[in-house]
Every structure is written in structure tokens, then in C-alpha cells.
Chain A
Amino acid sequence: MDFFITQLINGLKMGSIYALVAIGYSMVYGILRLVNFAHGDLMMIATYGAWMLISFKLPIGVSLGGAIVITVIFAVLMERLAYRPLRKGGSETTLMASLAVSTLLQNIATLIFSPQNQAFKLPDFFSKTYSIKGVQLSMMNIITFAVTIVLLVVISLVIKKTRAGMAMRACSDNMAAAQLMGINVNNIIVFAFSIGGVLAATAGIMYSGSYTSFSPDMGFMIGIKAFVAAVIGGIGSFGGAALGGLVLGLLEMFFAGYLPSSVTSYRTACVFLILIVVLLLKPNGLFGKSDERRS
């Protein structure tokens, strides 16, 4: 039972990270039909940002806030410089452009810093652990859950209640119609990238915080898995992306926990097998809407 609960906690933690990244993916994809492979690298930017600001001896709150701001700037720049000029092109070219942006960011980080893994130290407060009936729960886990829940609530309110949020949903449903209604699509896209940036930055900091080390290529694989999570959940759907993230995190952990070691080395491969199976059964993902409505 302890083993089960431990796996559950681990799965939820991993799932929270996937969920935060997946929501950003999903929002951008929902509007632009762009698989932004560089989205995961925003996690890396946030971590390097936070690490630099912390090394300048700034207070921890300021450092983390600053890192989020830096990441949002990068996210918006990415859209403005690489994706906007390509918006009229096919989704294939933008997909490739995002791969190139990803390579670019990783190599710049390698060039400026170094390819070596570096230590990411948060104050001691974050590394406390509590033992409840034999199950270990770390402060970082608690923070990850709390922050994820708070962010999910806040973002869903923003999307549901604010004008910008409504405009975003309108764009996602039918971009042409939204444009005709006088919505400034460019602003909405920047808005989506910014929210995506905030979520990815938070996920990146929490991820590096709990694993305490980071390197230039840390974001790529998580990014791809988060996209898988978004697709499993049903892309374009906010709740779907969040749930998809959690489902993927849990499945991965139970897979690694309950199966013999000869199979566990298929863990990453298994993520994609799950994707294929889900798409076979439900082509729009578990909670997704049909794409037919979109013109």
C-alpha cells in the first residue's frame, strides 16, 4: 500500500509538471495549429534565468519572479521573430521552424554557460521532507501540487471570465470568425504565448528545484512528452491538457514501478504507445472536441 501511495505521489508530481507544460502547448496549438517544439526549452530558460538571478544574490522571490518574466519575454520574442512571419505557411514549416528555434536556444545556452550539468539550489526550506506512515513527502512535492492547483484555477478563470480569455477561446474555435468580430488575433496569440511562458517557467523552476540540477537540453524531452500529454487529453481543451498531463505522469510512474526491469527500459517508448492507442480509440484525445467545427 505504501508502495502504491508513493507511486501515486510521484506520478502526480511528474504529472503536474507535464500538465503545466501541456497547457501552454495546447493553447498555442489550439489557436495556431503549431506544435511548438521549443516550448519545452522555455523550462530551460526559466531555470538558467533563476539560477543567474539567484547567483546575483537577489531575494528568492524576486529571482523566481524575474525568471518568469525573462521566460515570457523569450516566449513572445520566439513568436514575433520566428513564428509570426511563417503564420501563412503550412503547419509543417512552422513545426520545423520550432525545431530550429529549439536547437538555437539549446546551443546558445551551451555556448554561454557550458554543457555541464549545474547545481540548482533553492533555500533549505524547499528540501524538507515529511514522513507520514512510511510514505515520504517532500516540501517540493507539496509546493508543486499547490502551485499547480493554484495556477490551474487562476488560468481557467482567466480563460473563462476575462475578455482576453474569451477572445482566445473564440480564436481557438474559429480564427476567421473571431477576426471578423474585431478581435486582434496578433494580441491574442501574444497573450497565449505569454501564459504558456508563465506556466512553462513555473514548471521549469519546480522541475529543476526538485531534481536540483539542470543542463541546456533539459527541456526538450519533457516538452515532447508534454505535447503527447496534451494530445492524449485532447488538444485545444484546457482541462484536457491538464488531465492528460496527470494521466501520463501516473501511467509512467506505475509502469516503471510495477513492471520488471526487462520492461522498464521501454518507459519512454511506452509513452508513445499510449499515444497511439489513445488516438486509435479517440482520434480527438480523451477530452477533446472534434476538429470539424473549426473552419
Chain B
Amino acid sequence: MKGTLKNNSIFKFIIVVLLPVLAVIICHNAMPSYYSMMISLFLINVILTASLNLTNGFTGIFNIGQAGFMAIGAYISSLLTMEPNIKAARISGLPQWIANIHIPFPAAIIIAGVIAMLIAMIIGFPVLRARGDYLSVITLGLVIIIKAVIDNNPQITNGSKGLGGIKGYATLPVIFIVTILVLFILYRIMKSSFGRNMIAIRDDEPAAVSLGINVTRYRLLSFMISAFFGAIGGGLWAHLYKSIAPSFFYFNESFNIVEMSVLGGMATLSGAIPGALIVTFLPQLLANLESGFTIFGATVPPLYGLSNIIMSLIFILVIIFKRTGITGNSDYIVNSMFDKNTYIGLFKKQTWVDMGNIVKSMFSHKKI
């Protein structure tokens, strides 16, 4: 075990730390903003998916309404960070006390997260008693209810006209740091006794109950934490794209997040990374097929919707052939990222010796 490539600290460090950091630095400085925008979106998706995995993968709640909490986060944080005069000009009938609030971005997204958490508590209290699939449909209803509330209270939210003029605080480095923080917090939660109890509930609920674990309490707490980070994701989203509308946080967005979660593997935090990677970038590549092209002089007309069709097929095939998603039960990526041994290992002589052997054996075509 010790001498394999995947257990080597150098390898871990390069894959999960060095490459991502380099990618972010290069994108932020040297590349056109399209790439930094896409990577920002990818990172936000990682946050949303990882937070969803906390409930969906660990506690048996299958939440398909994460976009609702995203909407709460986006709206509340935007209302808090917008300049008072812009706010008052954009939203007619906005109460003066809301217009006057103007606080820094980090505080705003945290407040938004806390409010989403409280809302999750209020909703979760009655709702979490419902059984699995019913709960899923209720969470979908949550998306509809939240959208209806935003649509119908234009004096605060500007209704379906949406909110513009949000400051672009969420730059790529900011989003990157927040993503790492969120993953780290979720990782610590999973490693704590709280997390272990949750896994116990997931793996064997009756046994967990017999050990005196209060299942409902754990579900409620995980639902609240998930809502908190979902709202953080929404807050970042709003400050990345700088304009929001209720229709942005609806079924499509909600289903996308669940798709990432299932595709990557719900049972791990790491699953969020490949899941978000595929759902964020693959449609971008597939979109090229849609606009119509010419092969050997024959023109293929535009096939609108082709990329959606391919995406759904890929999704169905992946879950048929690998039910637990891409990462399965291995939390390799996140574990390597935050395990202190990855970093300590870099300074051990043995690690470098092992790496040398691995490289040698690679070139001598022997099995590692």
C-alpha cells in the first residue's frame, strides 16, 4: 500500500493542490475572462453539489430543491451589498431601512447563509418527517414556493423583473478560496463525530437508532448546513453574474445540481468535483454540435436540443453502469486535499524515494 502512486504524497499534492491552484492562477491572470468565468461557475457548482451531498449522500434526505436556497442566498446577499442609492432607484417601494443597509460582501453572504439556514430549520421541522420520495417532491415544491414569493413581492425583490447592478465581488480567486473553505468545513464535519453518526444513519438506520442517535435531529442539522452552503453558492453566483431573476433559480438549476451530485457520486464530498466538472464543461463542448456544421460538403442543419439529449443519455448510462456515480465510495480527492499527511509527506525522504521507484517502474513497464 505504502509505495503506490495514488498513496504518494507528491502525487497527491500535484493532483489535488498544485494543478488546481496553478489552473486558477493562470486563468485569473493570463487567460480571457471566458475561462475564468467557466472555472468560477465550476467552483460554485462544486460548492452547491458538495453541500447537497451532505444531505443526499449521508442522511437519506433526497433534496432536489437546492436552487431554492440558492435563490435565497442570491437575493439576500445582493440586497445587502448593493449601493443604497442604486437599490432605491431600481426597486420601487423598497422600505427605507432595507435600502439603507450596505455591508461588506463576506458578511453579506454569511448573513444570507444564516437566513437560509433558519428558513431550512422552519421548513425542515415539519417536512423532514415525511418519507424519502415524498420529501423529494416537497423540496421541489420548495423551489416553486420560493420563486412565487420572490415573484410576488416586488417591493423588496423587484419581482420577476430581477435585480441588476450587483457588484462583481465574486472574482475567481475569491470563489476559489471560498470553495476550498467550504470543502474544508464540510470535510471537518464529516470527520467529526457528527459526520460519523450521519454515516451510521445512512448505512444502517435501525442500528443507529438503537445506538441512541436522534435521526431527525441529524437530518434537520444536515439540511440546515446544506441550506447554508447552498445560499453561499447562490450569493457567489449573484456576485459573479451581477444580475439575478427568480426564473434563474428554478427547475433547471435545481436539477442540474442534483445531476452533478448523482453523476459524481453522492456518497462522497469528492464526487462534487467530477460531477460539477462534467455538467459544467461537457455541454459547452456539445453545444458545438448543435449549431449545424458541414461535413464533406454536406450541410447538417442546426439540431437544437441535441446537447440536452446527449447529456441525458450519458447521465442514464453512467448511473446504469456505475450506480454510485463516478467516485463511488472513495473520497480520495477531498481526503488528500485536507489530510495533513499529504503535506507532511512532502518533507519525508521516503516519499521521494518511493516516487523515484514508481517512476522507474513506469519506464521499465512493470506493474506498479
Query: Within 8 Å by CB, do A and B touch in the complex?
Result: yes
Chain B, interface residues (CB within 8 Å), range: 35 or more
**Can you list 12 pairs linking A and B with CB atoms under 8 Å apart?**
A85-B320, A93-B319, A96-B259, A99-B255, A104-B312, A108-B305, A266-B148, A272-B144, A276-B127, A279-B129, A283-B129, A283-B131
Interchain CB contact (< 8 A) of A89 among B129, B258, B313, B323 = B323
| Residue A111 CB within 8 A of the other chain | yes
Interchain CB contact (< 8 A) of A283 among B56, B130, B145, B315 = B130
Taking CB atoms, residues of chain B closer than 8 Å to A86 are 319-320, 323
Given the interface pairs A100-B312, A104-B313, the reply to whether A275 lies near B137 with Cβ below 8 Å is yes
Question: Would you give the shortest CB distance from B195 to chain A, in whole angstroms?
Answer: 20
Taking CB atoms, residues of chain B closer than 8 Å to A283 are 129-131
Taking CB atoms, residues of chain A closer than 8 Å to B145 are 269, 272-273
Q: Do A96 and B262 touch across chains, with their CB atoms under 8 A apart?
A: yes
The proximity string for A residues 247-282 relative to B, scoring 1 for CB distances below 8 Å and 0 otherwise, is 000000000000000100110110111011001100
* A residues with CB within 8 A of B: 29, 33, 35, 82, 85-86, 88-93, 95-97, 99-101, 103-104, 107-108, 110-111, 115, 224, 227-228, 231, 262, 265-266, 268-269, 271-273, 275-276, 279-280, 283, 291
| Residue B306 CB within 8 A of the other chain | yes
* B residues with CB within 8 A of A: 56, 62, 64, 126-127, 129-134, 136-138, 140-142, 144-145, 147-149, 151-152, 255, 258-259, 262, 266, 303-306, 308-309, 311-313, 315-316, 319-320, 323
Interchain CB contact (< 8 A) of A228 among B137, B152, B304, B308 = B137
Q: Do B305 and A96 touch across chains, with their CB atoms under 8 A apart?
A: no
Interchain CB contact (< 8 A) of B306 among A29, A93, A111 = A111
Taking CB atoms, residues of chain A closer than 8 Å to B141 are 228, 269, 271-273, 275-276
Interchain CB contact (< 8 A) of A107 among B62, B131, B312 = B312
Question: Would you give the shortest CB distance from B289 to chain A, in whole angstroms?
Answer: 12
Tell me the bound Cα distance from A89 to B304 in angstroms: 33
Taking CB atoms, residues of chain A closer than 8 Å to B126 are 276, 280
Tell me the bound Cα distance from A231 to B303 in angstroms: 38
Q: Do B319 and A29 touch across chains, with their CB atoms under 8 A apart?
A: no
Tell me the bound Cα distance from A35 to B133 in angstroms: 7
